[in-house]
Structure 1
Amino acid sequence: MEFKILDLFCGAGGFSYGLDKNKNFKTVLGLDYDTNAINTFNKNIEGAVGIVGDITDEKVKKHIVEKSKKLGVNMIIGGPPCQGFSLKGKQLGLDDPRNFLFLEYIKIVSEIKPEVFIIENVRNLLNASDGYFLNQIKEKFTKIGYILNTGFINAKDFGVPQNRERAIIIGSLSRSVPLPTGKSNEIITVRDAISDLWYLNSGEGLDASDYINKPQSEYQSMLRGEKVYNHKATNHSDLALEKLKMVPPEGDKSSIPVELHGKQKFATTWSRLKWDEVSPTIDTRFDTPSNGRNSHPVLHRAITPREAARIQSFDDDFIFTGPKTSVCRQIGNAVPPLMAKAIGETISNAYMDKRVEKEDYSAYLADSFVFVKELKKNNIKVNHIITDPPYNISKDNNFTTMSSPRKGVDFGDWDKKFDLFGWIKDYVEILDKNGSIIIFCSYLYISYIIDELKEVGIDVKDVLVWKKSNPMPRNINRRYVQDMEFAIWGVKKGAKWAFNKPNNVPYLRSVFETSLVSGKEKTEHPTQKSLKLMKEIIEIHTNKKDLILDPFMGSASTGVASLELGRKFIGIESEHKYFQIAIKRLENSRGE
């Protein structure tokens, strides 16, 4: 899907610049009250029109809405300023007059009704007043038809050399879009970002005015020793230079106040960036040494706008225009482009064709924790949930005493740090009033899952036992052979649940004995359940034509068994490799 973007409160355009790096996004309009910022926006955001205007002005607002509709805007982004999270102990939230710009953002979204909107803001947006403000925002957007996902992301996890944590809200009319997850182990440092730049002294360098009205092609400037625009050091006073010289390389000022001249005391927060760490959050006063840890690691000066821009992850060919105070404000207020790019990739992925919907089954490549919101919005109700989620048991083991030692029980990243209980409440909410739920789990967590099920209104009936006739061997001289797995069976309180006892047996035991999967039935999935096991469970606990949901589908053993027994099926799987296996098995089960 192609997204055409309106960037509200666009500033210099960092948000748009990052999103436009993805071919599926194109910024067409920007709005901001700052003329200098709009000049920067227009010089750098190719093909977009930046408009100077006050969003509260009805004429400006009408113009923006009409132009957006004419240009086919289907995505709105921005970080509406909001200062009033509470006032004198009262939870005023959106009723606080200081949050009027947030309300204007909501009004424009409601008038244009884009497919997607994104809000980027300070962390306190989500947790202020115990979530009261966030709940108000959710209520406003849900009322006009949006599925919302909210949370915190940190720029340093997306290749930005800066510790900058932000609140993100993503709204969509038809998809439940997750927030991006970065790679916290692949950190870019201050050294990576700025060490190749020309080492300037106080007052040296080239600022934005050297760029104005000159061809941009003259200023391609990436390497040390070449001209780099917006790379001009603040011309510090002699007193400031004396103070800077007292701060050791990559260090902080002495904790003991130093008398300089007369009543001048060196008792403020003067600190240097550290080469091999990320920078703290860049703000609009990064050119002021007393502002905190934003002086150069070794040189006696504050960092330059270009150094700050690199720490924000702007490319060198992004040129900031206007007076230095405005340039600093543009850089400090910007959304880091690489963080914006990551948000865009997540949205783009959510709109890729990763769903198969047939008459008797539907399968989705998605994050189950997020996708459930889409099911809720579409008023989906299921008769049963039967699922085999990750057990959280992957680890390295020592099997050296075995004749053919294994490396350990490590099924993959999907089985590590899995939230065992966080999904249950949301899925129980889409369970029919007579519905049942069966969750496979490790013996380590049986009691915890039972407690969670009871908490959300499930009457736990039994623990089912899968006894393996050919279990995986382990260290037989020190441990019992692990030949059993468990599943918890519960029903909604007051339900008339299904329980189909065969007529040819006096009673049923809760023990199901089968072999591990082998032969033609075996797939690449390391924890695949056998069709024989799943069919036996489904025949007892469901009826023909019932709709069965598996939020953690894996290779789709539950789905295949459901279809072969005349049930309908919905499956969700987050791993692409297993999703492809599942689709092939589901198609084969229908004779496709």
Structure 2
Amino acid sequence: MKADATAVDLFCGVGGLTHGLETAGIPVAVGVDRDDECEHAYEANNEARFEQADVADLDAEQVSEWLDDGTVSVLAGCAPCQPFSNLNNAEDSSERDDWGLVRDFGNLVEEVEPGIVVMENVSELRNKPVYSDFVNTLWRAGYDVSFSVVECPDYGIPQDRKRIVVLASKYGPIELKGPTHSPSNYPTVRDAIGNGVVPEIDAGGVDENDPLHRSRTLEEQNIERIRQSKPGGTWRDWDPEIRLDCHTKESGQSFGSVYGRMQWDTTAPTITTQYYNYGSGRFGHPEQDRAISLREGAILQTFPPDYEFVEDEEDIHYQTVGRFVGNAVPVRLAEVVGETIVEHVENYNVAA
């Protein structure tokens, strides 16, 4: 059943957040992103309309019109996380334009005054001044605010991914629903992409029934490296002659996950925008001598197995689809957010 609500998804990408909200019963009117390459995937898989725009340039009156269709208005968004990620700790990102996007989001909240606000981002954001500024903006605007640091496996997402979810409401206290899983029943790589969910392919191979289930070609030396790699192991399992030069240096001793294989019966590592590259992390398939495919990465992000990312097979580019998938809000996490909003609206009889 659909809630009597309307949402707008800022920084929507290919629709991970939108898809989860819609699955939970929250209709989404419009998704906004400045990357026009996201439009096909967003509209092909969701009922919402894609609007190419920079959030910094959005007119509050226009956003208010998009939200007018429901009793409850929901303004949601995940600003690009690269400036806040611990993957960028060595980078001075204080001058990056991306930092201002969270402030732009806060400015829209002040002007539009939606009933409910959702923000999802990397957990490191809460240590930055821009996060405190955003939360203070919500408090000044009269919202009840909560934040949750989420371990994604706690909600049935088969990857080690830590996120922060901020929820704010004009109707009363709101807090993300409690975990649905515990370490004893976390979903695993096997649950997600094993047991025949996707067919076997070789490095460089493509599934004839799903062109997105394709894996990058590996050079012969990398084929030998992955053959000698044990699930969950490190480069120390290799013969010395195929180790990389960096492994002989002290600075390279700790990078054990690079060129590693996933393990079947644990959760996957965080799916990054480079997950299709065998050498970018522990992205080797647990059993087959290849990196995980574009489709397998999307499934580990809890996109449905038939989610359409490009219009034509010739449009499939590893870097583009990797960016789509790695930057997305896991669909299941977005669904949990939507379920929380539906229960919140019912508890406070907002639509009564």
Match of 1:335 among 294, 310, 329: 329
Structure-2 residue corresponding to 1:149: 146
Shift of 1:297: 0.2
Structure-1 residue corresponding to 2:343: 349
For the 8 Å contact 2:190–2:265, the answer to whether it is kept is: yes
Equivalent residue letter for 1:153: V
Distance in 2, matches of 1:181 and 1:153, equals: 10
Equivalent residue letter for 1:308: G
Distance in 2, matches of 1:284 and 1:107, equals: 29
* TM-score, scaled relative to structure 1: 0.50
Equivalent residue letter for 1:201: D
**Larger helix proportion, structure 1 or 2?**
2
Instruction: Give 1:74-89 correspondences, 5 Å limit.
Output: 74-81=73-80, 83=83
Distance 1:304 1:63, change over 3 A: farther
Instruction: Give 1:412-431 correspondences, 5 Å limit.
Output: none
Distance in 2, matches of 1:181 and 1:353, equals: 16
Distance in 2, matches of 1:299 and 1:123, equals: 33
Alpha-carbon displacement from aligned partner over 1:110-132 (angstroms, at most 9, x marks no partner): 22211111100011112x16xx5
For the 8 Å contact 1:258–1:266, the answer to whether it is kept is: no
> Relative contact order, CA 8 A, sep 6+: which one is greater?
2
Structure-1 residue corresponding to 2:299: 310
For the 8 Å contact 1:162–1:278, the answer to whether it is kept is: yes
Instruction: Give 1:10-409 correspondences, 5 Å limit.
Output: 10-23=12-25, 25-46=26-47, 48-57=48-57, 60-61=58-59, 64-65=62-63, 67-72=65-70, 74-81=73-80, 83=83, 98-126=98-126, 128=127, 132-182=129-179, 183-184=181-182, 185-195=184-194, 196=196, 197-206=198-207, 227-254=209-236, 258-260=240-242, 265=245, 267=247, 269-321=258-310, 322=315, 323-353=317-347
Distance in 2, matches of 1:63 and 1:170, equals: 23
Alpha-carbon displacement from aligned partner over 1:317-351 (angstroms, at most 9, x marks no partner): 21111422111111111111111111211221122
Distance in 2, matches of 1:134 and 1:304, equals: 35
Shift of 1:180: 2.1
DSSP-derived class of the 1:151 partner: strand
Shift of 1:246: 2.3
For the 8 Å contact 1:282–1:308, the answer to whether it is kept is: yes
Equivalent residue letter for 2:37: N
Shift of 1:139: 1.3
Distance in 2, matches of 1:314 and 1:12, equals: 11
Shift of 1:11: 0.6
Distance 1:96 1:44, change over 3 A: closer
For the 8 Å contact 1:243–1:266, the answer to whether it is kept is: no
Unaligned ranges ≥5, structure 2:
86-92, 248-254
Alpha-carbon displacement from aligned partner over 1:387-418 (angstroms, at most 9, x marks no partner): xxxxxxxxxxxxxxxxxxxxxxxxxxxxxxxx
Shift of 1:243: 2.1
Distance in 2, matches of 1:135 and 1:33, equals: 25
For the 8 Å contact 2:228–2:237, the answer to whether it is kept is: no
Equivalent residue letter for 1:198: P
Distance in 1, matches of 2:101 and 2:340, equals: 27
For the 8 Å contact 2:55–2:104, the answer to whether it is kept is: yes
Equivalent residue letter for 2:329: V
Equivalent residue letter for 2:320: S
For the 8 Å contact 1:241–1:300, the answer to whether it is kept is: yes
Distance in 2, matches of 1:21 and 1:313, equals: 12
Distance 1:252 1:33, change over 3 A: same
For the 8 Å contact 1:12–1:41, the answer to whether it is kept is: yes
Alpha-carbon displacement from aligned partner over 1:265-300 (angstroms, at most 9, x marks no partner): 473621111000011111101011111111100111
Distance in 2, matches of 1:254 and 1:163, equals: 23
For the 8 Å contact 1:84–1:97, the answer to whether it is kept is: no
Distance 1:99 1:121, change over 3 A: same
Unaligned ranges ≥5, structure 1:
86-92, 207-225, 356-592
DSSP-derived class of the 1:294 partner: coil
Structure-1 residue corresponding to 2:10: 8
Alpha-carbon displacement from aligned partner over 1:355-385 (angstroms, at most 9, x marks no partner): 8xxxxxxxxxxxxxxxxxxxxxxxxxxxxxx
Structure-2 residue corresponding to 1:514: none
Distance in 2, matches of 1:353 and 1:304, equals: 43
RMSD of Structure 2 on Structure 1 (CA): 2.7
Equivalent residue letter for 2:303: F
Higher Rg: 1
Distance in 2, matches of 1:188 and 1:112, equals: 39
Of all paired residues, the percent bearing the same amino acid is 28
Distance in 1, matches of 2:96 and 2:295, equals: 37
Shift of 1:95: 10
Distance in 1, matches of 2:43 and 2:115, equals: 25
Query: How many residues are treated as equivalent by the alignment?
Result: 320
**Larger strand proportion, structure 1 or 2?**
1
For the 8 Å contact 1:155–1:165, the answer to whether it is kept is: yes
For the 8 Å contact 1:191–1:275, the answer to whether it is kept is: yes
Distance in 1, matches of 2:201 and 2:56, equals: 43
Shift of 1:178: 0.9
